Amino acid sequence: MSFEEEVDEIEANTLLGGAPFFSRPGGKIFIIWLVFTVIGVLIGFYAPHHLLPVMQSPEGGDVWATIVFFTVLAAPVAALVYAIAFYSLFAWRHRSEDPDVPPPDAEPQRGNGPVTVVWLAVSTVLVVVLLFWGIAVWSAQQVSHPNALQVNVTGQQWLWTYSYPGTGVETRTLDLPVNRPVQFNVTSVDVTHGFWPAVLGVQVDANPDVVTVIRTTPNKLGKFIVQCSQLCGLYHAFMNNTGDVVTSQQFDTWLQSNGATPTAAATAAGTSSSGSTTAMGK
Amino acid sequence: MTTAVAPPLLEDTQLGPKAGGFYRYQNIWTGLGFGIFLGFVAWLVSHATVQGSNWGTDMVVTCTMVAWVVGFNIGMGTFNAPIHWILGHDQTHEDELYAAGVGQGSSRYLKFCTDHKVVGTQYLVLVMVLFGVGGTLAMMIRTQLITPHSSFLDPQTYNAIVTIHGMVMIIATIIMVSGPFANFIMPIMIGAKDMAFPRLNAMSFWVVVSAVPCLLATFFLGGVNAGWTTYAPLSVQAPAAMDAFAMTIITFVVSVTVAGVNTIVTVVTMRAKGMTMGRLPIFTWGTVVGGALGLYAMPAFLAVMTMMITDRATGTSFFVPEVGGSQWLYENIFWIMGHPEVYVILLPPVAAVLEIASTFARKPVFGYKVAIAGFVAIAALSIMVWAHHMFTTGWAPNLAAPFMLTTELISIPTGIIFLCTIGTLWKGSIWTRLPMWFVYLFVWNFIIGGVTGIYLSDVPADQFFHGDMFVTAHFHYTLLGGAMIGATAAVCYWFPKVSGRMLNERVGKVAFWMIAIGIQVTYFGQFWEGFQGMARRIAYYNPHYETANQMSTAGAYLLMAGWLVFLYMMINGWRHGKIAPANPWHAKTLEWKVPTPVPLENFLVDPVVTSDPYTYGEGVPDGQEVPESAPAPEPELVPAGSAPGDQIDAGGAS
C-alpha cells in the first residue's frame, strides 16, 4: 500500500477527514440514518392510512394524527441508533482467521459529556413536545355538550345493551345520528367489560356499580363494530355487536321502529324543531 | 522465588459419615413426597371440615396448596438450619460443607444446596423448563388463531391457556437473569465467596420450584379464565383454579423478595477488597437496581393476591363492588406491582447487554456512571407510571395528564441506555461472536418496542389501542425482543463459565436468524392486527383479521423452531461441547479470572482490585485480577507509639 493510499484510508476512517463527505464514516452513517428515517416516516404515514379502519369521529382522527406525528418525531432518533449499530457491524467488524482470538482493543472512550448532554436535551425536548400534543388533544376531547344525545350502555356477560333515555328504546345494536354529540354512560351488571367502539376513537371500561362517561361526535355514516376489550370470561370473544351511524331522519325512524313514540324519537334525534334537520350533515 | 502451592480445594474435603445431619436423607424426592403427603392430609382435613360451608372449595384448595408448599420445603430441607438453631443446636463446619454440596457429585443439583453456582445452574434449568411450558402454550394460542373460528380449543381452555401463558412467562422472565446469572456470576464478579445468605439463596430457588405445580394445577381446577392480570370481580367469581393461581403468586413473591434482599446485601457487604461501588461491573448494578425495585413492587402482588384469596375463601369484599369493594382498588394495587415489575424483568438483561457489548467491542462501557444513573432513574420513575395501564378504565380521568408525563419521561433514561449501548459500539473492534449477535438483535427489537410504546403512552391514541393486539405486540417486542434476547445474549456469554464447555456457534447462528426473523414476522403480524382493531385475548375473530393472524402464526412457528435449535445447541454444548478455557472472551471481569469449573468458594486466593474492569485499550494492567498465590500477610497494624500488647486496651479505650 502506497503512502498516499494509506493517507487516504486514514482520512476515510476519520469522521472529519478530507475525503468526500459520503465516503467518510460520518457520511455513511448519515446515509443509513436518512434511509431508516425515510422508512420510518413512510411507515408512519402508510400504517394509519391503509391499516387503521376508517375512523368515524374527530377522536378517531386524533388517533390517526397522533400516530403520524409521533412517528415523524421518533423516526430520526430510532434511525440514529440503527444507523450507528448497522455501521458498527459492517465497518468496524473485525474478521480474523482464528475466531477464538479477540481483535485488538479499540481506542478507549469512557464517555462523552457534550454528546450525552445533547442526547439528554434532545430527548427531553421531544418528550415535552409529545406531552403537549397529548394534553392538547386530550383536553380538546373533554368538552361536554349540554345537548349531547345520552346513551346508556350496559355490559353483561356477554352482550351489550343500549338504552336511549326518554324514548324507552332498549336495543342490542348501537345506532347514532351523524354529527350529533353523544355521551355514553357506561356501566356493567356483572364483571368489568371494555366498551370499545374502535372507529369512534374512544374507549372506557364498563364497571359494575359505577357509571363511566365518554363523549364523541360521529361524523361519518356507516356501520362499525363495538367489541368488548376486557377479558370477561367464557364468551368474551363473542361480546360484540354492530353499530351504525345514520342521518338524523333515519335515526328518528329507527327509534320509532324500536318502540319510541314519535315525539320522544324526534326529541332524541334532534329532529323536533323545524330547520334543525337541514343543519345536520349528509 | 517461592513456587506457589495451590491451597487444597474445599470440595475435596473428606467429610465424616454424619456430616450434614438430616440433609443426608433429603433431596427433591423427599420434598415431593412430603409435599404431596402434607397436601393430601390438608385436603382430607379441610375437606372433612369446611367443604360444605359457603366458600368450601376455595378454602380446601387454599389449604392444600399452602400445605404442599410448606411440605415440599420441609421435605427439601429448606427449614433444617433454622429448626436446628431454634432447638439450640448449631451447624458444624462439616454440616455447612455438606449443605454446599461437598462429596455429592451431580446429585447436589437435586438437593437443597447452598453453593451459589449450584443454585444458579438450577435456576437456569428451571427457566428453560418454564420457557418450554410458556412457549408450548403460546404455540397453542397461535394455532387456535390460524382461522377465525377454529375448533382447536374451546373458549374455556383458550382463556385458561392465555392466562397461564402470561403468568408462566412473567415468572420465567423475572428470574431468567436474576436467577441464573445474579446467582452464579455476580458473586464471582464482585470477588465474593458466595452470596451473603447462602441458605436463603437455596430457599429462594426451592420455593419458586414449589410454586410451579400450583400454577399448572390451575388447568385441573377449572382453569383461570381472567387473563394474567386476573381483574376483579371476574377473578373473584372464577373457578377454584384462581386460588391455586393466587397461591402461586404468593409463593413466588416470597422467593423473589428473598432473592432480592440476598442480591442487595451481597453487593453491599461482600465485595472484595478494593471493589468499590464505582468499580463494580455494570451487570452487578443492573441486578442490584432490579432487585431493589423488586422489593418495592412484589409485596404489592403478595398483598393483592392475599386479598383475592380472602375475598374468595372467607367472604371478605375488597374487590366485590356490590358489597362495598372496588375493582379499581384491585387494578391499582395490581399495576403498582405490574409496572415496576417490567423493569425488574428488564434491568438485569439490559445491564448484561452493556457488559457483553463492552467485551465484544473491546472498549470500556460508554458512560458507565450515566448508565447507572439511567438504571436508577428508570427504577424511580417506574413506580410512578402504573395508572397508564388504566387510562381507559374510567378511574380518575383528571390524572391522565400526570401519568402521561411520568410515562413519557421514562423514555429519557431509556434513551440514555441506548446512548450507552451505541456509544460502546462506536468505533469498537467488533468481535461478532454469538453473544454479540444477540446484542445487536436486542438493539433492533428494543427500539421497536420503545417507539411503539410512545403511542400507548398518549391517552387519545391509547383510547384506540388499549386492549388491542397492538399492545400485545408492543410488550412482546420489549419483553421478548428486548429482555429475553438480552438474557439469551447472557446465556451465550456465560455458558462457558457455567457449563465449562463452549457452544457450537454455527448452530447458534442458525438459531439466531430463525429467532430474529421469527420475532419480526410474529409481532409485525400482531401490529397489523392491532392497527385493524383486533382485541386481545379473543379465541374467535372477525375474518377481516385473518391474513394478519396467519402471518403472526407463521412467524411464531419459526420462532419456536428457532428456540428449539437454540435448546439443542445448549444441550449439545453441555454434553459434548469443546472444553472451555477459563476466559474464552478475554474479558476483564473477575468471573473470567477464576478457573473453570469454578471451585467451591470461588477464590483460592483473594482477588486484587485496583480499578474497574473496563481497561480495554488503555495500556494498563487489568485492575481486577486473581493472583496465583497469596501475598505474604501484611504486618498487623498497630497504633503508633504502642506496643503490640496494648492493642486491645487502645481499642477498648477509644
Residue type, B446: F
Helix H or strand E segment including B609:
strand B608-609
User: So what's the pLDDT on residue B654?
Assistant: 40
The minimum CA-CA distance between A282 and chain B, rounded to whole Å, is 26
The least confident of A5-19, B180-194, B274-288, B334-348 is A5-19
CA distance A91 to B461: 39
The minimum CA-CA distance between A104 and chain B, rounded to whole Å, is 7
User: So what's the pLDDT on residue B212?
Assistant: 95
The minimum CA-CA distance between A229 and chain B, rounded to whole Å, is 5
The stretch B31-43 carries a mean pLDDT of 96
By Cβ distance, the residue of A99, A138, A234 closest to B156 is A234
By Cβ distance, the residue of A127, A210, A230 closest to B411 is A127
Please judge whether B400 and A138 are an interchain contact, meaning their C-beta atoms are less than 8 angstroms apart. Answer: yes
Residue A148, pLDDT above cutoff 70: yes
A39, A70, A153, A205: best to mutate for the B interface, most B CBs within 10 A:
A205
User: So what's the pLDDT on residue A276?
Assistant: 42
Residue A142: CB atoms within 10 Å: 10
Question: How far separated are the first and last CA of chain B, in Å rounded?
Answer: 42
C-alpha cell at B601: 468458594
**Interacting residues of B260 by C-beta distance below 8 A, sequence separation 6+:** B178, B291, B292, B294, B295, B298
User: So what's the pLDDT on residue A3?
Assistant: 60
CA distance B440 to B422: 10
Please judge whether A106 and B225 are an interchain contact, meaning their C-beta atoms are less than 8 angstroms apart. Answer: no
β-strands A212-216, A222-228 pairing: unpaired
B471 φ, ψ (degrees, to nearest 5): -65, -45
Summarised one tens digit per residue, pLDDT across range B138-155 is 999 999 999 999 999 999
A50, A77, A80, A88: best to mutate for the B interface, most B CBs within 10 A:
A88
User: With contacts defined as CB-CB under 8 Å, which chain A residues touch B410?
Assistant: none
User: So what's the pLDDT on residue B636?
Assistant: 65
Please judge whether B440 and A52 are an interchain contact, meaning their C-beta atoms are less than 8 angstroms apart. Answer: no
Residue A15, pLDDT above cutoff 70: no
Summarised one tens digit per residue, pLDDT across range B371-412 is 999 999 999 999 999 999 999 999 988 899 999 999 999 999
The stretch B259-273 carries a mean pLDDT of 95
Give the CA diameter of chain A.
97
Q: How far is CA A247 from CA A55, A138, A273, B290, in A?
A: 17, 27, 16, 56
B463, B465, B547: best to mutate for the A interface, most A CBs within 10 A:
B463
The least confident of A131-135, A154-158, B3-7, B44-48 is B3-7
A72-100 in b/e form (b: 16+ CB < 10 A) is ebbbbbbbbbbbbbbbbbeebebeeeeee
The stretch B171-179 carries a mean pLDDT of 95
User: With contacts defined as CB-CB under 8 Å, which chain B residues touch A198?
Assistant: 464, 468, 533
Q: State the SS3 of A208-259.
A: ECCCEEEEECCCCCEEEEEEECCCCCCCHHHCEEEEEEECHHHHHHHHHHCC
Residue B535, pLDDT above cutoff 60: yes
* Residue corresponding to grid cell 472512550: A109
Higher pLDDT, B649 or B567: B567
Which residue does chain B place closest to A212, by CA atoms? B394
In chain A, the domains with their CATH numbers are 3-92+117-141 (no CATH), 149-279 (2.60.40.420)
By Cβ distance, the residue of B327, B361, B454 closest to A192 is B327
User: So what's the pLDDT on residue B640?
Assistant: 64
The minimum CA-CA distance between B132 and chain A, rounded to whole Å, is 25
Q: How far is CA A214 from CA A64, A177, B459, in A?
A: 19, 16, 13
Mean pLDDT of chain B: 92
C-alpha cell at A69: 406525528
Please judge whether A137 and B460 are an interchain contact, meaning their C-beta atoms are less than 8 angstroms apart. Answer: yes
The minimum CA-CA distance between B464 and chain A, rounded to whole Å, is 5
The closest alpha carbon to B321, from A212, A149, A113, A275, belongs to A212
Residue B432, pLDDT above cutoff 70: yes
β-strands A193-197, A204-206 pairing: antiparallel
Which residue does chain A place closest to B157, by CA atoms? A234
C-alpha cell at B110: 437435586
Summarised one tens digit per residue, pLDDT across range B608-623 is 899 999 999 988 888 8
User: So what's the pLDDT on residue A17?
Assistant: 53
Work out the pLDDT band at A271, boundaries 50, 70, 90.
confident
Work out the pLDDT band at B53, boundaries 50, 70, 90.
confident
Work out the pLDDT band at A277, boundaries 50, 70, 90.
very low
Q: State the SS3 of B571-591.
A: HHHHHHCCECCCCCCCCCCHH
Q: How far is CA B543 from CA A46, B149, B595, in A?
A: 22, 8, 59
Please judge whether B234 and A192 are an interchain contact, meaning their C-beta atoms are less than 8 angstroms apart. Answer: yes
User: So what's the pLDDT on residue B539?
Assistant: 93
A46, A69, A110: best to mutate for the B interface, most B CBs within 10 A:
A110
By Cβ distance, the residue of A70, A119, A228 closest to B458 is A70
β-strands A174-177, A240-246 pairing: parallel
Contact B468, B462 (CB under 8 A): no
User: With contacts defined as CB-CB under 8 Å, which chain A residues touch B466?
Assistant: 194, 196, 203, 229
Fold of B119-576: Cytochrome C Oxidase; Chain A (1.20.210)
Which residue does chain A place closest to B434, by CA atoms? A99
User: So what's the pLDDT on residue A197?
Assistant: 94
Residue B291, pLDDT above cutoff 70: yes
Percent of chain B with pLDDT over 70: 95
B427, B537, B618: best to mutate for the A interface, most A CBs within 10 A:
B427
Residue A193, pLDDT above cutoff 90: yes
Which residue does chain A place closest to B530, by CA atoms? A52
User: So what's the pLDDT on residue B641?
Assistant: 59
The minimum CA-CA distance between B440 and chain A, rounded to whole Å, is 7
The minimum CA-CA distance between A264 and chain B, rounded to whole Å, is 30
- Tell me the Ramachandran region of residue B488: left when phi exceeds 0, alpha when psi lies from -120 to 50, beta otherwise: alpha
The minimum CA-CA distance between B68 and chain A, rounded to whole Å, is 29
User: So what's the pLDDT on residue A144?
Assistant: 84
pTM of the model: 0.92
Residue B647: CB atoms within 10 Å: 14
User: So what's the pLDDT on residue A281?
Assistant: 38
User: So what's the pLDDT on residue B248?
Assistant: 96
Residue A112, pLDDT above cutoff 50: yes
Please judge whether B463 and A201 are an interchain contact, meaning their C-beta atoms are less than 8 angstroms apart. Answer: yes
Summarised one tens digit per residue, pLDDT across range B189-248 is 999 999 999 999 999 999 999 999 999 999 999 999 999 999 988 998 899 999 999 999
Residue B3, pLDDT above cutoff 60: no
Contact B309, B303 (CB under 8 A): no
Please judge whether B425 and A199 are an interchain contact, meaning their C-beta atoms are less than 8 angstroms apart. Answer: no
The least confident of B35-49, B78-92, B511-525, B546-560 is B78-92
Summarised one tens digit per residue, pLDDT across range B556-609 is 999 999 999 999 999 999 999 999 999 999 999 999 999 988 999 899 888 989
By Cβ distance, the residue of A116, A134, A229 closest to B535 is A229
User: So what's the pLDDT on residue A5?
Assistant: 62
The stretch A149-157 carries a mean pLDDT of 94
Work out the pLDDT band at B50, boundaries 50, 70, 90.
confident
Residue type, B490: A
Residue range(s) in chain B whose domain bears CATH number 1.20.210.10: 119-576
The stretch B491-509 carries a mean pLDDT of 95
User: So what's the pLDDT on residue B2?
Assistant: 47
The stretch B5-14 carries a mean pLDDT of 72
